[in-house]
Amino acid sequence: MAIESLYILKTYWMIGDDLQKLHDEFSENTISNFYMPFGLAPNFLINDELYTIPMAVEESSVVAAASKAAKFWLTRGGFKTTVLSTTKLGHVHFMFEGDFEQLKNAFEQKIKNQLIEDTNDITKNMRSRNGGILNLELINKTSDLDNYYQIKGSFETVDSMGANFINSCLEQFAKTLKNEIELDNNFTQEDKNSLQIVMCILSNYTPDCIVRAEVSCPVEQLADGNVSAEEFVEKFSRAVRIAEIEPYRATTHNKGIMNGIDSVVIATGNDFRAVEACAHTYATKDGSYSSLTHCEVKDGIFRFWIDLPTALGTIGGLTALHPLVKLALAILGKPSAKELMGFVAVAGLAQNFAALSSLVTTGIQKGHMKMHLMNILNQHGTLFTNKDIERLAHVFRLKPSQFIEKYLRIDEDNDYVLQQVPCPFLDTDNYCLVYEDRPKACREYPHTDRKKFYQINDLTLKNTLICPATYEVVEQMQQELKI
């Protein structure tokens, strides 16, 4: 087992000591690299410019869905983005038992200006790039927790995410606050002794660092297959409304949005955990967890949009170190932080449009499970019955013997299987070229609905290693049978 584990770890090491050393230093106690697929979603028309968006994601159909939505809107005006604000926040959390009005007067008359003056060395470079401290406020939180106050700092960090900059300013604020209170004779010694700095930290909730992405077109341009434009819009709007009012649905709805958002955030070297936390907090801003996207129909025009609070950077951190991050940013045209906010929001909106379109028409499983099956076929292939061979031979206008010679072989169990994997009937977008005529084994996979399920126990156990649905079925069986 130890030899096998070492082999797996080494398999994922970078070629070249310098490149591996670079990756080792991203984190601690590194023993190997954990890869994710790096894909491209083309055909995004954003603010009248055509882009290909890089996405790092392991989940089937995310890139395909985003690409499908991009292609759909390519001929309908594309996506529009507007950065509404770029203000980031941080707080000095402290306890103080003295009089609030006295503290407030001291803050407004002297402490506030001194906080800015004492951080001039820290903010010098940021100010040269038109960033820096935007505002400082004293926040009274004693109604929530006895003696609890904050200094709330608002910052502009331009093209950097700004975490180190903001935290450095906050720590200096704390030192200045303690010093100014100590020197102020209007406070008693008891007041001074009561001042306790709890922590100085930026907030990943940035409701004032927000971007809007939207699409719009005349209703009549939204027909989908056999579904009329009016019916599509009615169903789509209803689905969005349900996500706006029902937290159970909103959670899954927003998770799908984050599939697109996180993929671009990861590909461009930003902190997807911070982006996730901020988005989900923002989804509760009106008192209940709700949809991040919204839609309306006005004067015959359908409009669908997302307001996304997100703090991103295009300089510093991984953006300057990781080779694939550099490539991703180059693919996007070396965007500013504001431009990257737009790309990220568009990816989330596109993902949500594709998901809702499927949900209200064909259903989500037709596309998603097709992709899942294709991933399995990429690794394991499938069995072909005589009827499968005859049917597919007819599709390709071949004799059965010619189809067998071209595509199949006989395995150790004397069954016809593919000569090679991945499956030759997969298109470049990983969709099945013969889906309507696919083999019986593909149609029935993962075979968990068989009447005599017990007859394929060995196959089922093998499938638990590659198919989440099979694994879940077996887990539930074990629990019910107390195995």
Active-site amino acid positions: 59, 255, 271, 368
The token pair at 57 is 């994601």
Residue 59 CB coordination number (10 Å): 14
Dihedral sign computed on CA atoms, order 65, 425, 462, 7: negative
The token pair at 269 is 């070297």
**CB of 418 within 8 A of CB of 473?**
no
**CB of 214 within 8 A of CB of 80?**
yes
The token pair at 341 is 């906010």
Which amino acid belongs to residue 460? Answer: T
What does DSSP say about strands 293-298 and 49-56: parallel, antiparallel, or unpaired? Answer: unpaired
Distance CA(109)–CA(114), nearest Å, equals 10
Residue 455 CB coordination number (10 Å): 11
**Which among 309, 318, 308, 312 has a CA at the least distance from the CA of 337?**
312
Angle at 166 (CA atoms; ends 162, 171), nearest 5 degrees: 150
**CB of 264 within 8 A of CB of 344?**
yes
Distance CA(299)–CA(179), nearest Å, equals 61
**CB of 278 within 8 A of CB of 309?**
yes
Distance CA(41)–CA(52), nearest Å, equals 6
